């Protein structure tokens, strides 16, 4: 699944998500072994379902962990959006440059390794996600 592009797998995943939850997802992508669905903020708890029932049902169907993340409104939602996607990995803080094109994530040694991933796969995926949703051109993890 590509970020920002709807391939057949993304469309099928979104259709199944909508059938199970009754909530419209704007997009979905894979990150760190999880399938992440982007929905409107007001729909996050509805899509999770009572006692997480919808999430468990989708995890059994997709055979993957499922995350439901609210659609960011603007650059002010960057930290919350980033934390939701990379959870359970934590970072110390993020620094955005003046023109909102470069982001630096400050993390500990363990977190840094988890954010970068083997062969920089997670780093490149995170770059694509942040470029799609916030227009960020560069990402550094230190």
Give every residue of the chain whose pLDDT is below 50, as ranges: none
The per-residue pLDDT for 4 is 61
pLDDT of 142 reads: 92
Residue 58 sits in the same domain as residue 82: no
pLDDT, position 99 = 87
3-class SS of residue 77:
helix
Give every CB contact of residue 62 below 8 A, 6+ residues apart in sequence: 13, 16, 35
Q: What is the pLDDT of residue 130?
A: 93
Distance in angstroms (rounded) separating the CA atoms of residues 110 and 102: 23
CATH of the domain at 12: 3.30.300.20
> Domain ends where: 17, 47, 70?
70
């Amino acid at each position: 699944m590509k970020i920002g592009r709807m391939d057949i797998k993304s469309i099928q995943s979104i259709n199944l998500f909508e059938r199970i939850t009754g909530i419209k997802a704007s997009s979905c992508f894979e990150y760190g072994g999880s399938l992440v669905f982007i929905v409107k903020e007001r729909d996050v708890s509805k899509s999770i379902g009572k006692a997480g029932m919808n999430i468990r049902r989708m995890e059994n169907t997709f055979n993957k962990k499922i995350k439901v993340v609210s659609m960011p409104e603007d650059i002010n939602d960057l930290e919350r959006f980033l934390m939701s996607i990379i959870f359970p990995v934590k970072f110390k803080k993020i620094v955005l440059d003046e023109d909102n094109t470069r982001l630096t994530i400050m993390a500990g040694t363990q977190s840094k390794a988890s954010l970068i991933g083997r062969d920089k796969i997670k780093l490149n995926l995170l770059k694509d996600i942040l470029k799609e949703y916030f227009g960020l051109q560069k990402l550094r993890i230190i």
